[in-house]
Amino acid sequence: MHAVMLRLARILAIFGGVVLSALILLTCASVIGREINATLNGEFFQQRLPGFANWLLNLGVGPVNGDFELVETGVAFAIFAFLPLCQITAGHATVDIFTSKMSAGANRLLRAIADILFAAVLVLILWRLFEGTISKYSSGETTFLLQFPVWWGYVVSLFAASVGALIGIYVACVRVLEFSTASTLLIEGEGSDN
């Protein structure tokens, strides 16, 4: 079961990484296009090379239309796509000033409580995201520039949040089992070397 959950989390994280990389390229292209557009509209090009400058401007050289809408949607998905891997590999940042002095049993109890709470928060986020998706779908709201339905972004985030909630519940169950059997089933930070 753990291998399936870990594989699912990794596949989703890879997909989130691909989306995030595409967004970085999109943002770079938009910034470069915006700068080229400003330069071509500047005094130098408009006075000395107006034909060339206007030709390039007429080709559409400029910022990517709707870039912020795509970035907003893509980053939301990427965040939800990375959460499951971080949860299953215990990759969240922790401060163990006090817990390092506690017994193994007390640490197992704290991990179980923390992961139960985290799973509950992931389920709450999933529920609210589902409600938001239904609301956006019903309203027919679209983005300002690209005019694509807002609910599309909600759906891709909902999918990633569903995987996150599933893995969050799985990790919480494993932590409860670890506490009740006084054993270690999930190794802390295991994703760093796998």
Predicted local distance difference test score (pLDDT) of residue 97: 82
Question: How do residues 164-193 score in pLDDT, each as one tens digit?
Answer: 999 999 999 999 999 999 888 887 655 444
Domain that holds residue 104: 2-192
Share of the chain above pLDDT 70, in %: 96
The count of domains in the chain is 1
* Mean pLDDT along residues 153-167: 97
* Mean pLDDT along residues 89-117: 88
| pTM summary value | 0.85
* Mean pLDDT along residues 118-141: 97
Question: How do residues 47-56 score in pLDDT, each as one tens digit?
Answer: 999 999 999 9
Cross-strand partners of 142: 149
Predicted local distance difference test score (pLDDT) of residue 194: 41
